[in-house]
Structure 1
Amino acid sequence: MQIDVVLPCLDEAAALPWVLGRMPDGCRAIVVDNGSTDGSAEVAARHGALVVSEPRPGFGAACHAGLEAATAPVVCFMDADASLDPRQIPYVAEGVVSGAADLVLGRRRPVTASAWPAHARLGNRVLAWRLRRRTGAPLHDLGPMRAARRTALLALGLRDRRFGYPLEMVLRASEAGWRIGEVDVDYLPRVGHSKVTGTVRGTVRTVRDMWRAA
């Protein structure tokens, strides 16, 4: 089955060749350029990705633009910073493809201590706890690698266009009665500096946006 892989992108030119070079057969990369100034869009195009421009700033805006551009039955989301290995996409998508699950998230397992700063891990733990209380879904991570069916995702009517988008997806999926699962994936040291959780300030901003979505 064809899988479209949405990669929200802001200044990831250094990481994209590795990420796109490891895209599995049957997976089409959709790189959503969210205002990059380092030539990310050109790099993505040279490496065979479908490039979508989303001028509205925001992680959720980029993710949703990629979802709307997708045409494959199954859509996977993942970061474009080389912190996740595209070769694990089929493993995350397996439950959705087989019909055993409606939404599957990759639970990040750091391969080195530096891959996931303590402040970012703590923020994620707090949000995952809140999510378990709200939905009853057995989730321990709001993992950025996730898979679901495209038409079903569009039907959820997601509204958040900032960092609350991933959390809103799980909340709306739970309300719709989706079967939600989690599988382990490797979490690697990213290339470059994180715009989301690379600093304490960035982590606080992300947790605030997601908390509001919850």
Structure 2
Amino acid sequence: MTTEIQHIVFDIGKVLIHYDPNLPYAKVIPDEAERAWFFANVCTHDWNIEQDRGRTWEEAEELLIAEHPERAEQIRAFRKNWHAMVPHHYEDSVAIMEKLIAEGRDVTLLTNFASDTFREAQERFPFLSRTRGVTVSGDIGLIKPDVAIYETHAKEFGLDPASTIFIDDSLANVEGARAAGWKAVHFTGADKLRADLSSYGIEV
């Protein structure tokens, strides 16, 4: 018999809100091949994730500009145009989350997000303030899939790991949650999420 789910934890980026750095950079670096090179070699995923871990944007920009001074403006454009990277939310998955909250279920958020851009996102997307609470990686200096961030979230919000289900678009983060003793499902769309939740006895 499976343990009854008492706690539901959502990731944010690519689960509740859209994220794509190419959107503003299509104007900053119009050439597609050059833009791909830029994201692979300058403003890389590994560089950006350190802001999610708590590094300031000022420090992050200085680091890259020292290595690529000729691309200073393109580097600064990342934070400057961040708002354009998150143009909209996913109505169907947000509706699922809000229905769960309306039913009285315990819903929290666990996200890899820089502190300042998360607060900006909260202002733009009010549903990010409707859960019982949120753990933001940039606030605590830990990032998924480090098991420590799941353990920190569980302790902060009094979650029983075995009774917790986590929803994330990254398989690595899903595996991190499972390593922390949580149930976890890989998000690829609202229909699959409904089916996954149903398999745990949660109908939405």
Determine which structure has the larger strand proportion and give its number. Answer: 1
Q: Comparing both chains, which one has the higher relative contact order based on Cα–Cα distances under 8 Å and sequence gaps of 6 or more?
A: 2
TM category, shorter? under 0.3
TM-score by structure 1 length? Answer: 0.25
